[in-house]
Structure 1
Amino acid sequence: PKDEAQIKLGGEPARFSGIVVDAQGQPLAGAEVLVHAISLPHDGGRIFFRLGHVHSPLRTQSEHEGGFQFEGLPPEAKIGIGARSEGCAAYRGGDSDQWPRPGDGLVITMYPEAAVAGRVLLDGEPVTGVTVLAHGQGHVSWGETGEDGGYAIAGLRPDTYIVRIVPPDDCAAAARTGLKLEPGQHATDIDFELIEGAVVEGRATMAGTGEPAAGAHIGAVHEALPGLPHWADADEQGHYRVRLAPGRIKLYCYHGAGDSAKQCEPK
């Protein structure tokens, strides 16, 4: 027999409304506003339903005076709001503890999009197909180099960025840190020169037995990139190898489902 599901209906539906404005505080018409997630009370906490930033079924457009609204949502809901408008950086809202509740007056400010661009070179020659990442506060955007080694990452919001690449095998490159972008700023010549770099290698073993920790995940965190480790997996004998730009690093090791991170000191 099939399981029966009970659905309880009740309470007044939630209504959210607000306004979209530009960087000068003027109403912005025609912006696409969407709900990318919904949070509801559950067992003393909250449960999240992800709708996505691209294909969310809950979307609308701001009206002539910039206004928008969503109706018929569950009582006590909190929602994650996103917005897009041509020539502006995408708006993705804040952390879930900052999501609005019904009745909150929402003001979404859209800023002119910023961008970064540059080239990736090896011995002065362009390198094709390299992924370039721009890390802001809680968000990341990316691009890829073309035949001329050039890349461009547009649609960035005002923030301070770390720009780095995913280098080809046997290469490394120093990241660009502390890149502050103002609304509408286009930072060019953010170039990367591939170098041989430094290699960290060793062996991961099980404490107490000395057996190889096959499949262990080794994270090497460069001092210039806290929170952005380079990963390598140990082979069947526990050996691992990771290449980075020169500098001080910390090593972390995970092994097995649910294993906690253990900081290791290179020997």
Structure 2
Amino acid sequence: MPKKAVWQGIFVFFLDILIAMVFDAGSARAEGSAARFQGIVTSLTGQPLTGASVILVAWPGGKEPIARVSTGEDGRFTIEGPAGARVEVVASMEGYCAYRITDVILGVGDQPQAAIALQRGVRVDGAVRAAQGSPVGGATVRVDLFRLRPSGLRKGSESEGSLSSGRAEVKTSEDGSFSLGVLPVADGYLLEVRHPGYPPHDLRLDLTGRASPAQIAIKLPAPAEIRGLVVGKDGSPVAGAMTRAIDLSRSAPTEEEPREASTSDEGVFRVGPLAPGRYRLEIRPPEGLREILGPIDVAAGASVDVGRIVVRPGVAIDGTVVDRRGDPVAGATVKAFRQLQNGRSLERVTRTGEDGRFRAAGLAEGFYTVRVEPKEPHLSQETEDIEAPATGISLEVGTEAVITGTVVDRNGAPLAKLRVWASASNPRSRYDNMGRAEIVDRESGAFRIRGLREGEVIVSARADRRSPVHSEPMYVEAGGSYGPLNLVLEPGHTIEGRVFDRTTGAGIGGAAVSLAADGDVGAITSRDGRFSLEGLRPGQASLSVEHPSYAPTQVNAVISPDEARLLDIPLEPGAELIVSVRTAQGAPA
């Protein structure tokens, strides 16, 4: 082989190696590149918080911090994480409730600086003990917040302790102690204590003016019970009758109530543990009519015997649930509602067998609405005016329509905080034909909407800092599958402004500014009264502004993609609403 050819081969060989090394190095830099997340942490009044902790945690389900920084003297921070990573941003500080921003994709799309407002909080600790003073371990202690979270906080970016569900929940240790963590300072809490061996126990909790940590001592009342015997008209015991004790002292039952128990083969029942109070006892035998006793007064620790209860026989509605092809629908829930003059009452719940048959027994004679709730892909169906007793009726259920598709930005990239839903194009109510939407793949923005009934629907989507988008109306047929429907979310537009005192001209911090037509879009003004609303569509908009020390107001604005506007919004301090009441003829009342 000529020397020239040899040297050319050697040159090409080393050139390939060099190109591969450069490519691998570039790939490594791309995979290992960092993205920045910046923002400011303040109090609800707009005061910058120095030394607040800000961490990044993998989302969802991450436990260990990816990165951690502290805010500077001006409350600002810059934190770095892997580019393209999905994270949760958590800001916290002693004496304040933690604040979480979920589903953030680092380095994807425009990410303006985050404005995080922390709410003052109090750590709540305590102990649960029985009436005789012994500790109660394994009790569930949870707190519900009656009040909504501070107005203006964006959904999805929530203050810990004032979540959308408004609930924190823990278990007591063996010595009865518990800690609920830091809760926002408020007076609208309901503290609930639940344990299988004790009656439900609730108390109000006011954290205003409380030092941190607040120590709560809880003593559970001695458990009581109601007992008795259920028999038929012939005196024979009735087994399997459901007995329920409903506390009449409560305006509304809790999730665990009413307390209930089934009768034994001998017809005996014991319902408890119960708290002291006044109760109504309901007995539902398998084939007989419902019986109601009460009121029954129950003292702490008492065992109240209501004696012998005779139940009357009832009638039944039975039949078959089928689909549109006439095939039986197994495992469907069937509910029988008795039709009343002022509404309806649920009387029986049963299920269909493998052959689609059902039997709702123990009904009084009269007219009923029967609701069938089948499993997917079938749809729920109601049939009215069924007169009991009724035998051999046939109830037909439809099949759901399904829509699939994707939602991305104009560059085809996925979006943070993506939400997709469907609605009827001409709905009778806001819940018509909404179906069940789910994001099946966040990396590609793929979604699926199930449970749609036949009719014309519109698919809508929105994401953080993006203008919502709506599809053209589309008609879906029962059992049909439609898609892929491709939706593109354009960058939303921004309104910036300043809220100030009309008298002094000073900026007002802590004012809540929100879009009147969409409560999801809102912001809290900074210490100098400035705010920014993002993800808005071009056109006319109405803004609502609220502050505890000022009269609420609404202002109109024009959102233009070509013109950035700074709104000046004055508020009247301490305004008073005066209502003039007059008669129909116009005279003062």
TM-score, length basis structure 2: 0.32
Whole-angstrom distance in 1 between the partners of 2:237 and 2:246: 23
**Residue 64 of structure 1: aligned partner:** none
Given candidates 46, 59, 63, the residue that maps to 2:164 is: 46
Contact conserved, 1:20 with 1:29, CA < 8 A, in 2? no
Could you give the per-residue CA deviations for residues 215-245 of structure 1, whole angstroms, max 9, x where no partner exists?
3321013579x76542222345644221014
1:217 aligns with 2:333: yes
Partner amino acid, structure 1, of 2:237: P
Paired residue type of 1:254:
E
Question: Is the 8 Å Cα contact of residues 217 and 234 (structure 1) preserved in structure 2?
Answer: yes
Q: 1:180 to 1:20 in 2, by over 3 A?
A: farther
Higher RCO (C-alpha 8 Å, min separation 6): 1
User: Residue 73 of structure 1: SS of its match in structure 2?
Assistant: strand
Tell me the residue number matched to 2:373. Answer: 254
Q: Which residue of 1 aligns with 2:315?
A: 198
8 Å Cα contact 1:35/1:80 also seen in 2 = no
For the pair 1:90 / 2:209, whether they are aligned, the reply is no
Query: 5+ residue gaps in structure 1?
Result: 62-68
Q: For residue 15 of structure 1, what is the amino acid of its counterpart?
A: R
Q: Does 1:183 align with 2:299?
A: yes
| Counterpart for residue 272 of structure 2 | 154
Instruction: Tell whether 2:225 aligns with 1:115.
Output: yes
Q: Which segment drifts farther, 73-82 or 143-152?
A: 73-82
1:250 positional shift:
3.7
In structure 2, runs of 5+ residues without a counterpart are 1-56, 66-89, 96-121, 150-154, 248-252, 388-589
1:204–1:234 CA contact under 8 A, matched in 2: yes
Opposite residue 229 of structure 2, the aligned amino acid is R
Q: Which amino acid aligns with 2:329?
A: A
Q: Deviations over 1:154-205 (max 9, x none)?
A: 32122433422453xxx32422255343434654235443554201123434
Choose which of 290, 301, 305 in structure 2 pairs with 1:174: 290
Is the Cα–Cα contact under 8 Å of residues 169 and 180 in structure 2 kept in the other structure?
A: no
Change beyond 3 A, Cα 1:91–1:105: farther
Cα displacement (A) at 1:214: 0.8
CA 1:159–1:18 in 2, change beyond 3 Å: closer, same or farther? farther
Which secondary structure does the structure 1 equivalent of 2:299 belong to? Answer: coil
Alpha-carbon distance in 2 for matches of 1:106, 1:262: 49
Structure 1: distance between partners of 2:269 and 2:383: 35
Partners of 1:210 and 1:50 lie apart in 2 by 48
Could you tell me which amino acid in structure 1 is paired with residue 230 of structure 2? V
Change (3 A) 1:70 1:150: closer
Q: Name which one, 1 or 2, has greater alpha-carbon Rg.
A: 2
How many residues align structurally?
239
C-alpha separation in 2, matches of 1:256 and 1:235: 13
Residue number in structure 1 paired with 2:526: none
Counterpart Cα distance in 1 of 2:192 and 2:365: 40
**Structure-2 change in CA distance of 1:245 and 1:129 (3 Å):** closer
Amino acid of the structure 2 residue aligned with 1:202: G
Report the counterpart of residue 264 of structure 1 in structure 2: 384
Distance in 2 (alpha carbons) for counterparts of 1:210 and 1:147: 43
Which letter maps to 1:125? Answer: S
The letter of the residue matching 2:279 is T
Partner of 2:80: none
Aligned equivalents of 2:322, 2:265: Cα separation in 1:
43
Distance 1:252 1:232, change over 3 A: same
In structure 2, relative to structure 1, the CA distance for the partners of 1:146 and 1:35 (3 Å cut) is: closer
Shift of 1:16: 2.1
Aligned residue in 2 for 1:142: 260
Q: What CA distance in whole angstroms lies between the structure 2 residues aligned with 1:195 and 1:202? A: 23
Q: State whether residues 35 and 79 of structure 1, in contact with CA within 8 Å, keep that contact through their aligned partners in structure 2.
A: no
The whole-number CA distance in structure 2 between the counterparts of 1:190 and 1:73 is 47
Structure 1 residue 262: deviation in Å?
Answer: 3.3
Q: In the aligned structure 2, how far is the partner of 1:91 from the partner of 1:31?
A: 16
- Does the CA-based 8 Å contact 2:168-2:180 persist in structure 1? no
Does the 8 Å CA contact 1:130/1:144 hold for their aligned counterparts?
yes
What is the RMSD computed on CA atoms of the aligned residues?
A: 4.7
Structure 1's 36 and 259: CA in aligned 2 closer, same or farther, altered over 3 A? farther
Decide whether aligned partners of structure 1 residues 261 and 243 sit closer, same or farther in structure 2, where only a CA change above 3 A counts.
Answer: same
- Aligned residue for 1:32, secondary structure, equals coil
Label 1:12 to 1:75 Cα distance change in 2 as closer, same or farther (>3 A).
farther
Partner of 1:65: none
Distance 1:106 1:162, change over 3 A: farther
Q: Percent identity?
A: 13
Tell me which residue corresponds to 1:16: 124
Which secondary structure does the structure 1 equivalent of 2:317 belong to?
Answer: strand
Deviates more, 1:149-158 or 1:98-107: 98-107
Alpha-carbon offset, residue 73 of structure 1: 1.5
Contact preservation (8 Å) 2:136, 2:172: no
For the 8 Å contact 2:350–2:358, the answer to whether it is kept is: yes
